[in-house]
Amino acid sequence: MRKWFARLAALGVALLVAGQGTTAALAQEPAAGKKIIRVGATQSMDSMNPFLAVRLISTSIHRWMYGFLTVPDSKTLAPSPDLAESWSTSEDGLTWTFKIRQAKWSDGQPITAEDAAWTFNKMMTDDAAKTANGPAVENFESVTANGQDLIIKLKAPQASMLDNPVPIMPKHVWEKVTDMANYDAEVYPTVSSGPYFAVEHKKDQYVKLQANPNYWRGKPKIDELQVIFYDNPQAAIAGLKNGDIDLLGRMSPPEFEAIQNDPNIVAWNQQGRRSAYLQINHGATTSDGKPVGDGHPALKDQKVRQALHYAIDKQKLVDEVQNGLAKPADGSIVPPMYQDFFWEATGDTKVTYDPAKANQILDDAGYKKGPDGIRTMPDGKRKLEFRFSIHTDTPIEDKLAEYLTGFFKEIGISLTTKKLDSSKFTEETGVTGLFDIAISGWSVNPDPEEVLATHLCSRRPSPTGEGGGTESFYCDETFEKLYKEQQKELDRAKRAEIIKKMQERLYTDAPIIAIYYTNDLEGYRKDRIASITPIPEDNGILYGGSSYWPFYTVEAKEAAASGSSAEGGSNTGVIVGVVGGVVVIALAGFLLSRRRKSTADERE
Amino acid sequence: MTTPLEAAEPAAQAAGPGDERPTRRGTLQYALAKAGGALFSIAMVIVGTFFVFRLLPGDPVRNLAQGRNMTPAQLDLERRRLGLDKPLIDQFFQFVGDTLRLDLGTSYEYKRPVIDLIGERIGPTLLLAGTGLVIAVSLGVWQGTRAGWRHGSGFDRFSTGLSLLLWSVPTFWLGLLLMMVFGVGIGPIPGLFPFRGIESVDAPDGFAYVLDVASHMVLPCLTLVAVVYAQYLLIMRSSLLEEVGQDYVTVARAKGLRDDDVRRKHAVPNALLPTVTLVFMRIGFVVGGAVTVETIYTWPGLGQLFYEAVRVPDFTLMQGTFMLITVAVIVMNTLADVVYHVLDPRVRSA
């Protein structure tokens, strides 16, 4: 009796499930026919409020949603019109007038200079609104609107005005916000001026964006752009292979190799926006010039730093540490992707791998080798034993440390690795100066002013021990002077020359040593994405660049087929899974009841 | 039959001297004493939390910048916003006062009240970890009972061996393996189950939605159950083994009862007590979610939130989740003590 009851129940459940499975398939049907592209991300959004959001994922999504005064040109990366269709500067470089384009917000309201003025004034007057992009308005004296003209008066000339990172927000929606610090902006649909507007955000799950029909360049070619969040890169890669997502950016070399041979995936390997370098504690000081930390005294000597530079085989690091997916750095912190500002050493200034020369430099400077092969300071007091600070749980940095240890051994310098968790690392290498050599890197924006500023005297920690954002504890008169010069130079070509000189200074004085520029590694599905244009257009980035261009130009493969196949795929999975589960349960139930019966028989 | 008597003695003392008869008042007193102890523990947790998280290295404001450039003026501003410019002792009293009012502060990273963030995450966590617990306990108790009852049989060796093997496997590795096999699919086998999140991006409505969530739960639940059910199995098996040799079991058999009845009605109820304690203790941890499993499968629960908080690190968020988890464990332990007292007459009286 019991056996039959169990079997009947199982059958009932199976039928019910099968029936519901079909309705599940039907429920998802409306999605088919729409052109949807799904982008994977290994970070989730911290905030939908552009005044507060700081994560890269959030600023990227906001770039797809909101217009800026200017954006990088898709070919040259030079500033080009966005919401500002033209601009002019006063003689003294202090007054900028932007003419705002006649266009509409996604809700149909006109975009005016008032919107831009409100956005900047909000940031200048409300501390909470400064959270995301505070430095961008620090130099602003006043911002006013006059018809479609936006007039910005500056305190001091600033050439990087055209790389302003502040998205312009609709005044008619946002002026109602009273408590900016706690406003999460979860109101949908959003009122946007970019190619897309957000329609849904499930926290830590996904964001759905829809094509903005009012976008001034015209509606994007796809209907919906979804950004799907993963907590770990392995799952995201599995998602790409599986077709749950169509594009995934910012991969590490091992992750990239996992998708390289997948026939359905285009493996995107292009020059990137990131440079990796070593910071050298060349005598860290606080902003009042007092020494701080415990850096090795030998590193104060430019000759020692130069010798270290000669001892590093950058090509080998690229081949062995980055699996060949990088470019050796013969320049400084601006990667070659930014052609206008990129500087590369040539002739006598160029440092090439030459351990003999490195040894020569150290011999000449009086650092003699001891019986153990390790050099000592010229006064014989201290050995040249340096520490190399890296992050915990970063296999690539572990490997790098191994190679550097080998290179420096060749020139009589010993290197020991010191692993620190990220907050301790930031503290020791940016505030307390408790390091000799440390790994570092920076993702550079189309305007490199920001990364250059991390080497200014003013960025050193305060005497009371508060970090100011220095990357090297650098404080150099020549560098400071050049920085101020480039701020005033409004001619792009002339400014680029000054910026190159700054990089040359960093290269020869060597407070940092650039080792390589990592490639931009991404992957997208051939069967879903028909075409996508990187930025810059010839060989650039898809995801994570400073532009919406790739996601504005992206075109999906035939909507109906792809849409339904993706949906159908996941649905089949559900049905197969559920039916499979039911079969297993039914089988288990069957066996169990049999077993019970047989044991009962045995015992009775 | 001396063992139960000895075991009961300390508990009887705890219930108060002279309290020899099992009364409702005795239980109440016992429960109140336990609750008092729990309250004291919670107070210590609140104090401890504050100082432990202040001892962590690193400047929270710089960590918040996440590699973005921030001017010194802006860093100052952030410090003021987070109240980090005040003396530590002021921060402490502020913290204790706020915590008592259930105001766990505002997350540095999400810029939203921690209590709201926890509220959003607790549902998915209870669903996943709760289901996992129920399945793991049922599976463990069922297999443990069978294995213990037929000690040394093929079933015993197989189930004990398998559960111990799974218990020893690193959760992260097992999770990724299951993801590859059942999520992505291997060779001709297609991917069967979704492995990201709690629902599809274009989730259907109604009962289909329930199915959608259920299919998303398969892999996380499987991982969660696989690595923990061994402990229930082993406890159940060993406590049943102790009972098997007892006189009352022999008596029950001698009465001519069916083997199933001897097991189910006599042995198992007595053997269940240690498992009950264990289950109550684990319920406390359920609130903490399963950090690893939630991280592998992008499950939007408390474990994932805690992981994010540690990664940033987001002090207020860490404090909030940490306190929630500890308080849950303390409360559940207290409950376990009380339930044990109610369930087992041997604990109540000598």
- Cross-chain residue pair A230–B298, CB shorter than 8 Å: yes
- Cross-chain residue pair B307–A20, CB shorter than 8 Å: no
CA distance B283 to chain A (A): 25
Nearest CA in chain A to B84: A466
User: CB-CB: which of A131, A423, A451 is closest to B57?
Assistant: A423
- pLDDT band at residue A580 using 50, 70 and 90 as cut-offs: low
In this prediction, residue A585 carries a pLDDT of 62
pLDDT digits 0-9 by tens, A239-269: 999 899 999 999 999 899 999 989 999 999 9
User: CB-CB: which of A17, A181, A232 is closest to B295?
Assistant: A232
Residue B296 and residue B222 in contact, taking contact as beta carbons nearer than 8 Å: no
pLDDT digits 0-9 by tens, B127-160: 999 999 999 999 999 999 999 998 888 999 999 9
The helix or strand, by DSSP H or E, that contains position A449, with its residue range, turns out to be: helix A449-453
In this prediction, residue A229 carries a pLDDT of 94
Residue A572 pLDDT exceeds 60: no
pLDDT digits 0-9 by tens, A168-220: 999 999 999 999 988 999 999 999 999 999 999 998 899 999 999 999 999 99
Residue A185 CA from chain centroid, whole number: 23
Residue A27 and residue B205 in contact, taking contact as beta carbons nearer than 8 Å: yes
pLDDT digits 0-9 by tens, A291-301: 999 999 999 99
Closest C-alpha to B321, from B333, B308, B312: B308
CA distance A75 to chain B (A): 26
**Tokens 């890669």 appear where?**
A237
Interatomic CA distance for residues A525 and A300, integer angstroms: 51
Q: Is A598 on the interface with B (CB under 8 A)?
A: no
Q: Is A466 on the interface with B (CB under 8 A)?
A: yes
Nearest CA in chain A to B112: A182
Interface test with B, best of A210, A232, A279 (most B CBs within 10 A): A232
In this prediction, residue A133 carries a pLDDT of 87
How many Cβ pairs closer than 8 A exist between chain A and B? 205
Residue B312 pLDDT exceeds 80: no
3-state DSSP assignment of residue B297: coil
In this predicted model, which residue has the larger pLDDT, B114 or A575?
B114
Residue A332 pLDDT exceeds 60: yes
Residue B42 — φ and ψ, nearest 5°? -65, -40
In this prediction, residue A194 carries a pLDDT of 96
Interatomic CA distance for residues A403 and A299, integer angstroms: 20
Nearest CA in chain B to A427: B58
Beta partners for residue A389, in sequence order: A418, A438
- Is 0.80 topped by the overall pTM? yes
Q: Which residues of B touch A578 (CB under 8 A)?
A: 211, 214-215
In this predicted model, which residue has the larger pLDDT, A559 or A431?
A431
Nearest CA in chain A to B208: A24
Q: Is A596 on the interface with B (CB under 8 A)?
A: yes
In this prediction, residue A33 carries a pLDDT of 78
User: CB-CB: which of B120, B183, B202 is closest to A31?
Assistant: B202
CA distance A56 to chain B (A): 9
Over residues A423-442, the mean pLDDT reads 90
Interatomic CA distance for residues A312 and B314, integer angstroms: 37
**Tokens 């936006």 appear where?**
A150
Residue A363 pLDDT exceeds 50: yes
Closest C-alpha to B213, from B191, B221, B316: B221
Residue B257 pLDDT exceeds 90: no
pLDDT digits 0-9 by tens, A20-57: 443 343 334 445 578 999 999 988 888 999 999 988 89
Q: Is A230 on the interface with B (CB under 8 A)?
A: yes
CA distance A24 to chain B (A): 5
- pLDDT band at residue A412 using 50, 70 and 90 as cut-offs: very high
In this prediction, residue A172 carries a pLDDT of 96
Residue A17 pLDDT exceeds 90: no
In this predicted model, which residue has the larger pLDDT, B138 or B77?
B138
- Cross-chain residue pair B215–A431, CB shorter than 8 Å: no
Structure tokens at B311: 């990664």
Q: Is A430 on the interface with B (CB under 8 A)?
A: yes
Residue A50 CA from chain centroid, whole number: 16
- pLDDT band at residue A568 using 50, 70 and 90 as cut-offs: very low
Interface test with B, best of A45, A223, A574, A593 (most B CBs within 10 A): A574
Q: Which residues of B touch A451 (CB under 8 A)?
A: 69
Interatomic CA distance for residues B273 and B264, integer angstroms: 14
Residue A585 — φ and ψ, nearest 5°? -65, -45
Nearest CA in chain A to B105: A182
- Cross-chain residue pair B56–A423, CB shorter than 8 Å: yes
Residue A570 pLDDT exceeds 90: no
- Cross-chain residue pair B71–A469, CB shorter than 8 Å: yes
Q: Which residues of B touch A439 (CB under 8 A)?
A: none
In this prediction, residue A26 carries a pLDDT of 36
pLDDT digits 0-9 by tens, A54-87: 888 999 999 999 999 999 999 999 999 999 999 9
- Cross-chain residue pair A426–B194, CB shorter than 8 Å: no
Interface test with A, best of B69, B109, B159 (most A CBs within 10 A): B69
Interatomic CA distance for residues A500 and A493, integer angstroms: 11
In this prediction, residue A31 carries a pLDDT of 52
Q: Which residues of B touch A427 (CB under 8 A)?
A: 57-59, 62
In this prediction, residue B266 carries a pLDDT of 86
ipTM score here? 0.80
Interface test with A, best of B128, B196, B312 (most A CBs within 10 A): B196
- Cross-chain residue pair B212–A574, CB shorter than 8 Å: yes
Interatomic CA distance for residues A463 and A3, integer angstroms: 81
In this prediction, residue B349 carries a pLDDT of 58
Residue B59 pLDDT exceeds 90: no
Residue B220 and residue B293 in contact, taking contact as beta carbons nearer than 8 Å: yes
In this prediction, residue B342 carries a pLDDT of 79
Residue B202 pLDDT exceeds 80: yes
Q: Which residues of B touch A52 (CB under 8 A)?
A: 111
Lowest-pLDDT range of A185-194, B107-116, B206-215: B107-116
Q: Which residues of B touch A459 (CB under 8 A)?
A: 72
- Average pLDDT of chain B, as a whole number: 83
Structure tokens at B49: 């939390």
Lowest-pLDDT range of A423-427, B79-83, B252-256, B329-333: B79-83
**Tokens 């459940």 appear where?**
A13
Q: Which residues of A touch B185 (CB under 8 A)?
A: 242
Question: What percent of chain B lies above the pLDDT cut of 70?
Answer: 87
In this prediction, residue B145 carries a pLDDT of 92
Structure tokens at A82: 């966005």
Interatomic CA distance for residues B183 and B196, integer angstroms: 9
In this predicted model, which residue has the larger pLDDT, B45 or B111?
B45
Residue A486 and residue A498 in contact, taking contact as beta carbons nearer than 8 Å: yes
Nearest CA in chain A to B198: A205
Lowest-pLDDT range of A231-235, A318-322, B218-222: A231-235
Over residues A146-153, the mean pLDDT reads 95
Nearest CA in chain B to A467: B62
Nearest CA in chain A to B58: A423
Interface test with A, best of B63, B298, B312, B314 (most A CBs within 10 A): B298
Give the single-character DSSP code of A420.
Answer: E
User: CB-CB: which of B71, B112, B260 is closest to A135?
Assistant: B71
Q: What residues 432-461 of chain A have any CB closer than 8 A to a CB of chain B?
A: 442-443, 450-451, 453-454, 458-459
Q: Is A418 on the interface with B (CB under 8 A)?
A: no
- Cross-chain residue pair A54–B106, CB shorter than 8 Å: no
Nearest CA in chain A to B212: A574
**Tokens 């799904």 appear where?**
A38
Distances from the Cα of B102 to the Cα of A292, A522, B121, B123, B320, angstroms? 42, 44, 17, 19, 10
Question: What percent of chain A lies above the pLDDT cut of 90?
Answer: 71
In this prediction, residue A591 carries a pLDDT of 55
- Cross-chain residue pair A228–B196, CB shorter than 8 Å: yes
Question: What percent of chain B lies above the pLDDT cut of 90?
Answer: 29
- Cross-chain residue pair A442–B67, CB shorter than 8 Å: yes
In this prediction, residue B79 carries a pLDDT of 78
Q: Which residues of A touch B260 (CB under 8 A)?
A: 596, 599-600, 603
In this prediction, residue A504 carries a pLDDT of 96
Angle at B303 between CA B299 and CA B307, to 5 degrees: 105
